[in-house]
Amino acid sequence: MNSSSGVIAGLDGCAVQEPDAARVAATRDRLVTPEEATRLAELFRLLGDPTRARLLYALLEAGELCVCDLSDAVEVTDTAVSHALRLLRTAGIVASRRAGRMIYYRLADAHVRMLLDLSREHLKETG
């Protein structure tokens, strides 16, 4: 709210209601599209599950594991691991390879590794 009207702006509000048109335009030009924002939200929703997060960090540490190794590492059932991996594979977060009758899972690419590394580092900073 405007201070000239006698109302004090809150800590999260603007003291003056005069947006900087140039900064707003420049920000809009670099902003993610609504479609990208939806895809990002879906990605973070997938990463927001504790079991899936632990599976991803297990893959980050091990490089590649099969379902039974992942199940033992994160202490959840094979069924839960398989379901989580199906979601993560469909989203392009993990990849798999077949070796005979075994299927091994790994993080899909370096971007996923960086996202996990940065997220963990952020947690360490924020306590």
> Which of the residue ranges 12-21, 56-65, 100-109, 112-121 would you say has the lowest mean pLDDT?
12-21
The torsion of the CA quartet 92, 68, 56, 82, rounded to 10 degrees, works out to 40
Average pLDDT over residues 91-120: 94
The CA radius of gyration of the chain, in Å to the nearest whole number, is 22
105 three-state secondary structure: strand
> Which of the residue ranges 1-5, 6-10, 50-54 would you say has the lowest mean pLDDT?
1-5
The dihedrals phi and psi of 6, each to the nearest 5 degrees, come to 90, 0
Total domains in the fold of the chain: 1
pLDDT, residue 15, reads 74
| Structure confidence by residue, pLDDT tens digits, 36-75 | 999 999 999 999 999 999 999 999 999 999 999 999 999 9
- Please state, in angstroms and rounded to a whole number, the distance separating the CA atoms of residues 121 and 127: 10
pLDDT surpassing 80 at residue 1: no
The answer to whether position 7 is within a domain reads no
The answer to whether position 36 is within a domain reads no
The answer to whether position 62 is within a domain reads yes
| Domain of residue 121, residue span | 51-126
The dihedrals phi and psi of 122, each to the nearest 5 degrees, come to -65, -40
Instruction: List, as one string, the DSSP characters of 37-57.
Output: HHHHHHHHHHHTSHHHHHHHH
Read off the pTM. 0.78
- Please state, in angstroms and rounded to a whole number, the distance separating the CA atoms of residues 112 and 88: 11
pLDDT, residue 3, reads 44
The answer to whether position 17 is within a domain reads no
The answer to whether position 11 is within a domain reads no
The answer to whether position 28 is within a domain reads no
pLDDT surpassing 70 at residue 34: yes
Please report how many Cα atoms fall inside a 13 Å half-sphere around the Cα of residue 110, on the Cβ side: 0
